[in-house]
Amino acid sequence: MSEPRRSIATVCLSGTLEDKLAAASAAGFDGVEIFENDLIASAASPAEIRAYCRDLGLSIDLYQPFRDFEAVPPARFRQNLRRAERKFDVMEQLGTDLVLVCSTVSPEAVDDDELAAEQLRELAERAQRRGMRVAYEALAWGRFVNTYEHSWRIVRRADHPALGLCLDSFHVLSRGGDPALIRTIPGEKLFYLQLADAPQLDMDVLQWSRHHRLFPGQGSFDLTTFAGNVLDAGYSGPLSLEVFNDVFRQADPKPAAVDAMRSLRLLEERLGLPVAEPAPDLDGYAFAEVVADPGTAARLADGLAALGFAETGEHRSKPVRRWEQGGARVLINTSGAGPDTAEIGALAVESADPLRSARRAEAMSSPILPRERGPQEAGLVSVAAPDGTGVFFCDTAADDGWRGDFRDTAAPAAGLITGIDHVSLTQPFDHFDEAALFCRSVLGLEPEEVTEYAAPFGMVRNRGMVDATRSVRIALNGALVRRGEWAPAVRDPQHIAFTCTDVLAAAERLRASGAPVLPIPDNYYDDLDARFDLDPDLLGALRRGSVLYDRDAGGEFLHLFTELFGSRVFLELVQRVGDYAGYGVGNAPVRMAAHRRQRMTAFGR
């Protein structure tokens, strides 16, 4: 089966109608749904918008919405028909032949399927005379018609060739509808398909719809089954996104449209459509790169040395040094960073086929980044995550791998650290879902459950993204509300977590060497004793080493943190006992408060 046409409703994006259309075209969409409010606010005539879309390579697939039409008294029906003719005039100028009619919420309407069918038949007859069609949609909050089964009964009763259904995944799945029955609807009566994901929320369905929809792959709905049933029924129109979301409608429309396209491609892949090569298997991290100014880089190097790392190499053409212990590798890059700056500039994952990973990234709307390459240096490829972090695809064992770009200066250190367990990246609130979708579509990672916790400066959201073997873990974090200028001394923290065979032993060594371990207050350990009734010797060792602890049904988790290097980067040692798969997020508020104390003390406040 060939790739379907892809469309997006202008309501998904921020800006003027012209801004939205330009963004949709740049992201590679084939067509758009024109939302009536966007057209009304535009200074361009419908004919001018038609010409603009033509120049951008966009078709206008749908004009919407036409509200509160059916099952009304005769006088109101005559007014509605007049209103419809004016909309047909607009559609004629736009060059589109399909209008969306939402099931009524009008207080004048009556619960009468026969009357609704009769009036919709008359509307379809008028549309057909003008070469147009009507797609009837059941709103999840419709006054009488709020399921697709009910809307189909009315369309079937009306029995007009210019009247069909619009199926919207939100309206079906938010009510717990059974999409399997869609297969029984003739394909020629499925005029349009609208797709939206959403988180599972217990709230009024109208508010849920208006504010919390998401692009496919960002929420909890089973869109693969839903859309698969529509395609199996014989639907041949575009796959179109209709997403009402407060964040998207304030964000820059260009990256939002790219995110939307990426979401459709991921859904299409799961539908078995030929979109991209499968994501190659991953096998852990090749390295993590920290970009820092020279002073901060020196402090970070001292911290790595205290943790048992050895400096093992110097890049042949760039100011980058390599540090290693066991299978953990950290690159420190001192090019271009401002004072007191350190940030995770790049991650490198071990790919079974780096070139195929790169081709997949490009197919998923993540173009390969330009990269300066010295003579005889490896041809590494990378893409940019939504927050700007570079992601490299590597094969460290290859003869022409990235290690050849370094002059070796020492052998890797052996110690308690064996590799990188996970990397934690703080995302701006309006990029949190986008970052998760990037990890899913480009890297082939799967999302874990979202957890939220009360931190010293507001609610924080956390979501792990993992590969099938959990060799690559990325922990995404984001504040639910933007914080004021007064609050945190540590903004947008990032850290690298290393696997450790014995965190308590590591803590003893670090304490003896004066390493920059983050001090944890006694109150934490008093509460830990109350919650878990730990062995006194274990509790004492945890307290002495500033080691934090968590436990669940799968096992135990021991971890410690370093102090900050620069304004936002720190390191973590973690030990997983049994099948513990989390990140100790319950301890995050304690760590955040401790880092703020360190940061404020460092600046004498």
Residue ranges of the binding site for Mg(2+):
422, 495, 572
Residue 561 contacts residue 591 (beta carbons within 8 Å) = yes
Residue 14 contacts residue 247 (beta carbons within 8 Å) = no
Distance CA(341)–CA(154), nearest Å, equals 64
CA angle, corner 450, sides to 572 and 486, nearest 5? 65
Distance CA(137)–CA(11), nearest Å, equals 17
CB-based contacts of 485, cutoff 8 Å, min separation 6: none
Distance CA(402)–CA(106), nearest Å, equals 65
Residue 351 contacts residue 391 (beta carbons within 8 Å) = no
Residue 558 host element (H or E): strand 555-561
Could you tell me whether strands 390-394 and 342-351 are parallel, antiparallel, or unpaired per DSSP bridges? Answer: parallel
The two tokens of residue 326 are 């066991």
- Residue list for the binding site for a divalent metal cation: 137, 168, 194, 242
Q: Which residue has the tokens 């939302």?
A: 35
Identify the bridge partners of residue 406 per DSSP, sorted by sequence position. Answer: 315
Give the residue among 401, 397, 365, 398 at the shortest CA–CA distance from 381.
401
Report the length, in residues, of the chain. Answer: 605
Could you tell me whether strands 31-35 and 6-9 are parallel, antiparallel, or unpaired per DSSP bridges? Answer: parallel
Rg (CA), the chain: 28
Distance CA(208)–CA(212), nearest Å, equals 5
Residue 567 contacts residue 341 (beta carbons within 8 Å) = yes
Residue 251 contacts residue 438 (beta carbons within 8 Å) = no
Cα 394–chain centre separation: 24
Terminal C-alpha separation, the chain: 64
Got the DSSP string for 507-538? HHHHHHHT--BPP--HHHHHHHHHHH---HHH
Q: 3-state secondary structure string, 373-412?
A: CCCCCCCCEEEECCCCCEEEEECCCCCCCHHHHEEECCCC
Phi/psi at 432 (5° precision): -60, -50
> What angle, rounded to 10 degrees, do the helices at 113-129 and 148-158 form?
60
Phi/psi at 256 (5° precision): -65, -40
Distance CA(112)–CA(153), nearest Å, equals 12
Distance CA(281)–CA(211), nearest Å, equals 36
Q: Could you give the 3-state DSSP secondary structure of residue 543?
A: helix
- Residue list for the binding site: 137, 168, 194, 242, 422, 495, 572
The two tokens of residue 465 are 């993204």
Distance CA(465)–CA(253), nearest Å, equals 25
